[in-house]
């Protein structure tokens, strides 16, 4: 950060150097905001000969260098831009620092082809400053923000986490009525610094912003299945609004959960990375479902690729602000994905792996600090960065035992993670929890991502799948691929019978990819006339349903039956459903081409190899495969246009 006086002189010099600056004005109202999500309106006038590329740069803190904006909006996005005047209203997130807005002139002749954003669009240049706004800030004393809950593994507890700007002593006060929050617990405080991060942009001046102080408190001795009210903060620094949640009650024999992967967050501006506009719909529909539950406990499970911040820290703030309406009401559980963790020097990186630098240099540090999941799993980073946490754990909720793993750290036999998973699955009391739901980020099975993760999947099938099959896991959920895809009950690429092992009614685990909550880099399943050479991913017989709509999963379980439904964001309705009986029998399996025990698949990785071969055949073969795929059971595309073929 450069000294404020020097920065001010640079601003003044930029304005004096602009021959037209005296004609231009920019204003912002209001100057003070109460909380994250409040709107400001930016107005400008007097821009001569407007360019389509003139833009509004958004800065926090206000002392940021011109190139270190957090986002930008092209003035041409407004209807009146050609007049040289206009206005834009956007919500702001409290980054524990003020905001400033700057207008720049940018023309096509100044485009730098190699300086691009995530989608290869040229990033704006900041050579010609036209106008600077006054600063906008947030009032103090309004209490903490980014409130979110988590289970601890004990039925009579609930964890709550939140962020403050200064780390001063803070508390959680709670009770059974809104007007009597008589029970109080103190929070512990953690924080990370720029030096704790492993690579750029996370530890660079472009990506780093002060993350604030992260508070962690546990509400104890909760009565079963009761609605509790709570606030976080302090008398000296202010209290949050009053939130509520329903405590766990395993005696009811009922579980409600909402599950998805790869959601991300939406911003009201463009930035260095693509953000996930569809994430707003996911939260909207889940909010509806939580409201409909009334006073029944539920939980959310987000299986990797959480905020897609990838080293741009304000996107974490944006994410937690966006999910607070649901995460403050029900526990929000996560597992680690490649975009929270992967970096070039990560400690476990076998030569067969496909781990890259998808974490943007974060190396799991924000993820490990901002969440606190049950258990104590951790892996050293081998660097200055603290150990990575929240890797693998489990808990019971009603009749369901939930298990989480890390696909980004060592899961092979002999590793701590493998030992934990093996012991945990072998120890499940199936009378108490007749259903087991296993979750991780990168999928063991997927027909939509080509050959990139073949070697990793081979190890997952070789070492992890036997644990799942042996211990009668019902349901296995993965993210990473940004589509919905449900497979038949699988074991080593072979669909199973519903009457295995003699008279016992069992099924192999049903594996489902659920990475469709927001991110929109999509593999494609059918040919596109405007992209005839794009690869096509054929649908094998073992893939029973592929959905191309954004959405999430809704889980409801009793002691007798677990129902899992795929809800589409475009209409909030159920588009696929599968049901499991406590006996192990699978209902509504959607077997497409005959009974499950007549559908066969090669029990080796020739499936993936053949998929890769198909991709190389080009457009003609793509049309043939596309025609065949459309003859099978696919959900309608409904206008969701895939814009990339990579899986990230």
Residue 121 carries which DSSP code? P
Tokens found for residue 198? 């492993």
How many whole angstroms separate alpha carbon 310 and alpha carbon 339?
A: 6
Tell me the backbone φ, ψ of residue 172, rounded to 5 degrees: -120, 125
How many whole angstroms separate alpha carbon 18 and alpha carbon 20?
A: 5
Residue 425 C-alpha from the chain's centroid: 26
631 located within any domain: no
Q: What pLDDT was estimated at residue 506? A: 52
| Structural domain total, the chain | 2
User: Burial of 250 by CB count in 10 Å (0-12 exposed, 13-18 middle, 19+ buried)?
Assistant: middle
283 located within any domain: yes
Spell out the residues 6+ positions from residue 429 whose beta carbon is closer than 8 angstroms to its own.
none
Computed over every residue of the chain, the mean pLDDT equals 87
Reduced 3-state DSSP string for 379-438: ECCCCCCCCEECCCEEEEECCEEEEECCCCCCCCCCCHHHHHHHHHHHCCCCCCCCEEEE
How many whole angstroms separate alpha carbon 126 and alpha carbon 33?
A: 27
Mean pLDDT of all residues in 296-312: 98
626 located within any domain: no
Give the number of C-alpha atoms closer than 13 A to the C-alpha of residue 204, restricted to the C-beta side.
Answer: 14
Residue 90 has pLDDT above 50, yes or no: yes
Classify 298 as helix, strand or coil.
Answer: coil
Do both 134 and 274 map to the same domain? Answer: no
487 touches 511 (CB < 8 A): yes
508 located within any domain: yes
Tokens found for residue 259? 């599950």
How many whole angstroms separate alpha carbon 426 and alpha carbon 422?
A: 6
End position of a domain, from candidates 568, 588, 608: 588
Residue 600 has pLDDT above 80, yes or no: no
End position of a domain, from candidates 588, 617, 637: 588
633 located within any domain: no
Residue 357 carries which DSSP code? S
Q: How many C-beta atoms lie closer than 10 Å to residue 186's C-beta?
A: 12
372 touches 150 (CB < 8 A): yes
Residue 415, domain extent:
251-588
Tokens found for residue 100? 């400033």
Q: What are the b/e assignments for 309-348, b being 16+ CB within 10 Å?
A: bbbbbbbbbbbbbbbbbbbbbbbbbbbbbbbbbbbeebee
* Partners of 561 in the β-ladder: 581
Give the global pTM. 0.89
Reduced 3-state DSSP string for 580-615: EECCCCEECCCCCCCCHHHCCCCCCCHHHHHHHHHH
How many whole angstroms separate alpha carbon 184 and alpha carbon 101?
A: 41
476 touches 511 (CB < 8 A): yes
Residue 613 has pLDDT above 70, yes or no: no
Sheet holding 55-59, edge to edge: 71-74, 55-59, 100-105, 128-132
pLDDT band at 523 (very low <50, low <70, confident <90, very high): low
CATH code of the domain containing 475: 3.60.21.10
Do both 130 and 255 map to the same domain? Answer: no
Name the region of 293 (left: φ>0; alpha: ψ -120 to 50; beta: rest): alpha
Mean pLDDT of all residues in 483-490: 94
Mean pLDDT of all residues in 133-153: 96
Do both 328 and 451 map to the same domain? Answer: yes
Q: What are the b/e assignments for 15-32, b being 16+ CB within 10 Å?
A: beebeebeebbbebeeee
* Partners of 401 in the β-ladder: 396, 436
515 located within any domain: yes
Do both 369 and 518 map to the same domain? Answer: yes
Do both 452 and 324 map to the same domain? Answer: yes
Tokens found for residue 463? 């070492």
Mean pLDDT of all residues in 489-508: 67
CATH code of the domain containing 123: 2.60.40.1930
User: Burial of 605 by CB count in 10 Å (0-12 exposed, 13-18 middle, 19+ buried)?
Assistant: middle
Q: What pLDDT was estimated at residue 538? A: 81
How many whole angstroms separate alpha carbon 602 and alpha carbon 23?
A: 72
Q: What pLDDT was estimated at residue 250? A: 86
Do both 569 and 426 map to the same domain? Answer: yes
255 located within any domain: yes
Residue 28: in which H helix or E strand, if any? strand 25-29
End position of a domain, from candidates 111, 138, 165: 138
User: 431-467, pLDDT tens digit by residue?
Assistant: 999 999 999 999 999 987 667 789 999 999 999 999 9
Q: Name the one residue in this structure whose structure tokens are 């072998």.
A: 426
Segment among 128-142, 370-384, 483-497, 586-600 with least mean pLDDT: 586-600
């Amino acid at each position: 950060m450069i000294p404020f006086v020097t920065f001010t002189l640079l601003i003044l010099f930029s304005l004096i150097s602009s021959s037209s600056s005296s004609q231009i004005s920019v204003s912002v109202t209001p100057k003070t905001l109460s909380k994250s999500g409040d709107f400001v309106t930016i107005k400008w006038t007097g821009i001569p000969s407007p360019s389509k590329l003139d833009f509004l740069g958004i800065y926090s803190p206000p002392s940021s260098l011109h190139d270190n904006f957090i986002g930008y909006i092209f003035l041409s996005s407004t209807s009146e831009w050609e007049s040289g005047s206009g206005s834009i209203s956007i919500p702001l997130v409290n980054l524990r620092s003020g905001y400033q807005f700057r207008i720049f002139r940018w023309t096509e002749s100044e485009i730098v082809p190699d300086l691009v954003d995530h989608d290869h669009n040229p990033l704006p240049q900041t050579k010609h400053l036209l106008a600077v706004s006054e600063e906008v800030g947030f009032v103090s004393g309004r209490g903490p923000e980014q409130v979110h809950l988590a289970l601890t593994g004990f039925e009579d507890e609930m964890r709550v986490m939140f962020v403050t700007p200064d780390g001063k002593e803070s508390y959680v006060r709670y009770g059974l009525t809104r007007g009597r929050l008589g029970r109080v617990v103190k929070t512990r405080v953690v924080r990370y610094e720029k030096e704790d991060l492993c690579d750029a942009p996370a530890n660079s001046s472009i990506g780093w912003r002060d993350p604030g102080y992260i508070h962690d408190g546990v509400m104890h001795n909760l009565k079963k299945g009761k609605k509790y009210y709570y606030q976080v903060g302090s008398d000296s620094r202010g209290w949050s609004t009053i939130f509520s949640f329903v405590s766990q009650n395993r005696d009811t024999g009922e579980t409600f959960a909402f599950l998805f992967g790869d959601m991300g967050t939406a911003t009201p501006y463009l930035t260095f990375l693509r953000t996930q506009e569809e994430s707003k719909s996911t939260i909207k529909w889940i909010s509806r479902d939580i409201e409909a539950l009334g006073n029944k406990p539920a939980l959310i499970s987000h299986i990797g690729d959480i905020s897609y911040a990838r080293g741009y820290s304000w996107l974490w703030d944006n994410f937690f602000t966006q999910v607070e309406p649901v995460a403050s009401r029900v526990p929000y559980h996560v597992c680690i994905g490649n975009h929270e963790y992967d970096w070039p020097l990560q400690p476990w990186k076998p030569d067969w792996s496909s781990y890259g630098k998808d974490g943007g240099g974060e190396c799991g540090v924000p993820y490990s600090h901002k969440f606190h999941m049950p258990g104590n799993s951790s892996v050293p980073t081998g660097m200055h960065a603290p150990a990575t946490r929240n890797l693998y754990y489990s808990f019971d909720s009603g009749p369901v035992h939930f298990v989480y793993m890390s696909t980004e750290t060592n899961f092979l036999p002999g590793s701590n993670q493998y030992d934990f998973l093996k012991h945990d699955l072998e120890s499940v009391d199936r009378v108490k929890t007749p259903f087991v739901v296993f979750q991780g980020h990168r999928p063991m099975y997927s027909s939509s991502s080509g050959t990139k993760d073949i070697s990793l999947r081979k190890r997952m099938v070789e070492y992890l799948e036997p644990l799942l099959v042996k211990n009668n896991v019902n349901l296995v959920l993965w993210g990473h691929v940004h589509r919905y895809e449900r497979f038949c009950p699988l074991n080593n690429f072979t669909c199973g019978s519903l009457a295995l092992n003699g008279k016992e009614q069992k099924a192999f685990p049903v594996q489902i990819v659920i990475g469709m909550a927001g991110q929109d880099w999509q593999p494609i399943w059918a040919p596109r006339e405007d992209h005839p050479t794009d690869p096509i991913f054929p649908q094998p017989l073992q893939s029973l349903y592929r959905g191309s709509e954004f959405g999430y999963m809704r889980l409801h379980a009793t002691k007798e039956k677990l129902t899992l439904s795929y809800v589409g964001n475009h209409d909030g309705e159920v588009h696929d459903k599968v049901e499991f009986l406590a006996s192990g029998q699978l209902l509504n399996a959607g077997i497409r081409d005959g009974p499950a025990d007549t559908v066969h698949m090669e029990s080796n990785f020739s499936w993936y190899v053949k998929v890769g071969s198909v991709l190389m055949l080009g457009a003609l073969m793509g049309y043939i495969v596309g025609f065949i795929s459309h003859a099978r059971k696919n959900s309608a595309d409904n206008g969701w246009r895939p814009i990339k073929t990579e899986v990230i």
